[in-house]
Structure 1
Amino acid sequence: MASPARVAAVWAPDWPVVAAAAAADVPLHLPVAVLAANRVVACSEVARADGVRRGLRRREAQALCPELVLLDADPDRDARAFEPVVAAVEELAPGVEIVRPGLCAFRVRGPARYFGSEPAVAERVVDAVADRTGVEVLVGVAEGVFAAALAARSGGIVPPGESPAFLAPFDLAVVDHPDLVSLMRRLGVRSVGEFAALPAPDVLARFGPDGAAAHRLARGLEPRPLVARLPPVDLSARRELDPPAERVDTVAFVARTLAEEFAQRLADYGLACTRLIIEAATANGEELSRTWRHDGVLTVGDIADRVRWQLDGWLTGRSREDRPTAGVTVVRLAPEDVVEHGGAQLGLWGDTGADDERAHRALTRVQGLLGPDAVVTPVLGGGRDPESRVRYVAWRDAREPALPLEPPWPGRLPPPAPATVPPGPPPVSVLGADGEPVGVTGRHVLTALPTQVRLGSGPGRDVLAWAGPWPADERWWSPVQARRRAWLQVVLDGTEPSAYLLALEGGAWQLAGIYD
């Protein structure tokens, strides 16, 4: 079996931290951590010196480093910020493949012949990126992207043919298969070299294709041959935009439909894409072409995301010199590397996921006819009342809550949440035994016991039980945004749904929710 090609990997350490700090104007000499789902996903070297590590919860990280600056994770932002780095590398080495934001790679054979040696290439790449972007990167060279990426962590160049020996001392966790690593540790296999020494047929029989792919990495081989198979003709997909699009969201919407067409064209040949070329051109003739690499099969969502990342980094570049001078008129997708793909894997009970795929195509079709906001899905976030906790996002857009879900949220309505929240809460009347309206005092106490509630213009209904009031005093420090409310739960007599959530704001009661 032929050995993998010599590859140079360009790695920007702690890239999520670098991109987030640059966007927030936070100096990197401060301890910085990037959070996703309330856990640390990346941290700066200064933060690591204080004991902060990936996987820590927010409070644990803050306990170790009280001065820690916390920033939210944003893959789109990381991809946009990485675009100038890729452009700087591409000036020296055409055919750069983006593995992920913060890591790209290219075959080093051609540049090494031109510049004289592999160390000369690495030195020139480091200098070019620093001069153009101010970003410090490390370059590693080895057989295959996996070994080169690990070599880049120390800025080393692995001699030809010695990649397996170079990989052997690494902890097995570097193969990034958590379940496999956990099982191997229990079996006493802890290093990449120990895992590579296992017989390949036995690994395949016991752990399947994923285990076999990890075993190939441990042996210094790529999970698939690097020599790209020539794809059949006419597999690319192209879309012209008229009028030219100057906004990223406009191009991203077109990219979804184009990604569907591209994936279906490949599927008709029994193929799937693992390396993708995305090309874009403007009305003034400016062009941008990038090659995106993926460890697995690129799905429709993956393709659409990469189109958005690439064009977002181009259209909203940091410097005006790097931005195009006109709107995008053409977007083209072309497969650089394809693999045979027989279709969806059967689930445990025979489910192929075809229903989900048909539903996705139908919803995307509706969006194409009526616009991206015609199909929305709810996202639950943080807040104090049911209405503010739900945010509606367009289908296939990033499902990110408007407010963080984690507490504290003092004054939050206690569970359970109402099943129905009426739009534009209708007014209601809450009356006491004397027929007078019931209010809430400054000490958050009812002015009288509620005995009757009138919903809108309907007849009054007797109160069988009630709970509350629960006060919420929001943004009291801002005269413009200040908001004071009090919630009251009531159970009314009658055959219709009888449990209601009422809200008092500005001296008037409103129907805020209906319980099942």
Structure 2
Amino acid sequence: MSRLLVLWCPDWPVVAACAVAGRSVAAPAAVVSANRVVAVNASARAEGVHLDLRRREAQGRCPDITVFPDDPDRDARLFEPVAAAVEEAAVGVEVVCPGLVAVPARGPAAYFGSEEAAAERLIDQVAAHTGVESQVGVADGLFAATRAAHRGVVVAPGAGAEFLAPLSIREFREHPELVDLLRRLGIRTLGAFAALDPGDVVSRFGAAAGRAHRLARGLEQRPPARRRPPVDLSVTHNPDPPIERVDAAAFVARGLGERLHSGLAAHGLACTRLGIHASTANGEELSRVWRCAEPLTPTGIADRVRWQLDGWLRGARRPSAGITVLRLEPEETVDGRALQLGLWQGGHDEQAERAARAMVHVQGLLGPEGVLTPVIGGGRGPADQVRLVPWGDERVPAAPVDQPWPGRLPAPSPATVPTRTLPVSVIDRDGLEVGVTGRFVLTGRPDVVAVGGGQTRRVLAWAGPWPADERWWELGAGRRRARLQVLLAEKSEEDSQDALLLVRENEKWSVEGIYD
């Protein structure tokens, strides 16, 4: 696992808002979004103001508080000088979000003598160049290193799980539904969550909880299966005229984000580390890497590109000429197939993202099994070919599609597959039940089908049987079935004909599918 040094600027949205307004950060202040507090400084916290408090209640508790609107562009623009200051003392700087940067710890620790010395040097560097207070933490992995930065500590290698164990489950701020559910179950610390069986966590709470469980155990969010994508997946734009204004940068960012995401999706990939590179008309080279815990959506890519261009074009060290070349490079990717939206294929747009958030919200209310999506796989019968998986879980078919599957039914497949057994009887002209011999031959010609309640329907046509003799070589696991398609006469003049897929197993017939 990579060892990271994380520099954190406490209450950064408030610090940035105060800097723009020309107010002292020592005075009580808060940043509000959707009428709720999303950031608050130490002076306001001392008066009882905390995150998620309503604006009016915050002002009631602290009448002198200054309230600022949430502005991610402002936060990112003012944070660029901090990232640049860190970059002067350490290589490989990655912006996680405005207010937080990560650096591989090995280089600075070797250069300055130890991880503690490197942490002190970066704090001094940021304070000297920007006047901003910061804290540094060092640990294995981004999650543990970020929590260490919030406390200003250096966690020994391999001690991440021990460090995280006593921390509150509320550290999973990005997953409020999961936190609320775990607290209602009596799980209050990361250590208590980490003690649960990983398989039980995934089966009960879903894939997102499984990733959070890995973090609580001091592991990476995903197993180390990342790979560097081919060079041709990067996207380049040559603006004409050169980009000099933020509004032009925002327009370019959206188009580039869509292009990069589409290229990655075509290869089954998603980006978790985004490199933004720019060149100006005077030959200046600008570069910054953004790291994200979750795979970036087109909107997420566009936001980070816009924030970075805003920081370059309006920052204290703005380039001397407009940007003539802009290149986005996926520095690190993960398998993106599990992230594709089944109902909105190709629709990683704002509507699809809202739908995904709504489904996650429903899962928070009903549990992971409350929202299921179908995955088509291999098999002989319609029920065998469809696997329902909780929303967000990896969409892997139950059986491979590319196998021959002898005895598989021909197209088309039934439109409806009953979820419970519907017993029927197939009768020949002599009033005897039609069976299937050991050689998969019908014992008689189907004449009528008796469905539930004793109602009989005449058989107009039939096809089959299709034999399925599965795992005959394995003692106790074999399964013999025969399928039969029947077309039934209408019940009355107003009704239409019905087509059923019947299956015979253990000397009994049942309805396996209904055709439209």
Shorter-chain TM-score range? 0.5 to 0.7
State the AA in 2 paired with 1:170: L
Quote the residue 1:453 is aligned against.
Answer: none
Displacement of 1:298 in angstroms is 0.9
Amino-acid identity (%): 58
Offset, 1:29? 2.1
Match of 1:157 in 2: 154
Structure 1 residue aligned with 2:450: none
Task: Quote the Cα distance in structure 1 between the aligned partners of 2:234 and 2:222.
Answer: 22
Give the TM-score normalised by the residue count of structure 1.
0.66
Structure 2: unaligned runs, 5 residues or longer: 353-516
RMSD: 1.8
Structure-2 residue corresponding to 1:36? 33
| Residues 128-181 of structure 1 deviation map (CA, whole Å, 9 limit, x = unaligned) | 100110001000001111111111112110111111111011110102221111
2: CA distance between counterparts of 1:174 and 1:144?
15
Distance in 1 between residues matched to 2:131 and 2:310, nearest whole Å: 20
Alignment match, 2:70: 73
Deviation track 1:451-509 (CA, whole Å, cap 9, x = no partner) reads xxxxxxxxxxxxxxxxxxxxxxxxxxxxxxxxxxxxxxxxxxxxxxxxxxxxxxxxxxx
Aligned match of 1:166? 163
Q: Which runs of 4+ in 1 moved over 6 A?
A: none
Task: Find the partner of 2:215 among 210, 217, 228.
Answer: 217
AA in 2 matched with 1:17: V
Alpha-carbon distance in 2 for matches of 1:242, 1:85: 30
Correspondence for 2:19? 22
Residue correspondence of structure 1 range 228-377 to structure 2 within 5 A: 228-317=226-315, 319=316, 322-342=317-337, 345-346=340-341, 351-352=343-344, 354=346, 357=349
CA distance in 2, matches of 1:164, 1:39: 33
Cα separation, 1, equivalents of 2:349 and 2:31: 33
In structure 2, do the counterparts of structure 1 residues 183 and 359 end up closer, same or farther at CA, with 3 Å as the change threshold?
closer
Question: One-letter code of the match for 2:169?
Answer: L
Helix, strand or coil at the partner of 1:183:
helix
Corresponding residue SS for 2:39: strand
Q: Which amino acid aligns with 2:344?
A: T
Structure 1 portions without partners, runs of 5+: 361-516
The answer to whether the 8 A contact 1:17-1:43 is kept is: yes
Give, in whole Å, the separation in 1 of the partners of 2:341 and 2:253.
29
Deviation at 1:252, TM superposition (A): 2.2
Do 1:98 and 1:293's aligned partners in 2 also have CA atoms closer than 8 Å? yes
1:198 corresponding residue in structure 2: 196
Cα displacement string for residues 229-285 of structure 1 (whole angstroms, at most 9, x for unaligned residues): 121231110111222121121122122222222112112211111111011111111
Other structure's SS at 2:289 match: strand
SS of residue in 1 equivalent to 2:330: strand
Secondary structure of the structure 2 residue equivalent to 1:21: helix
Aligned counterparts of 1:346 and 1:141: Cα–Cα separation in 2? 36
TM-score (norm. length: structure 2): 0.66
Q: How many residues align?
A: 351
Q: Partner residue of 1:499?
A: none
Q: CA deviation at 1:358?
A: 11
Q: Secondary structure at the match of 1:314?
A: helix
C-alpha contact (below 8 Å) 1:228/1:336 kept by paired residues: no
- Give 1:357 deviation, angstroms: 4.5
SS at match of 2:92: coil
CA gap 1:254/1:157 in 2 versus in 1, 3 angstroms = same
Rounded Cα–Cα distance in structure 2 between residues aligned with 1:148 and 1:45: 22
Range with greater deviation from structure 2 (137-146 or 202-211): 202-211
Instruction: Report if aligned partners of 1:279, 1:331 keep a CA contact under 8 Å in 2.
Output: yes
Which has the greater radius of gyration?
2
Distance across 1 between alignment mates of 2:197 and 2:184: 18
Q: Could you list the per-position Cα deviations for residues 300-330 of structure 1 after superposition, in whole angstroms to 9, with x for gaps in the alignment?
A: 111111111001011101x3xx110000101
The answer on 1:117 being equivalent to 2:114 is yes
SS at match of 2:85: helix
Greater CA deviation, 337-346 or 351-360? 351-360
1:346 deviation in Å? 4.8
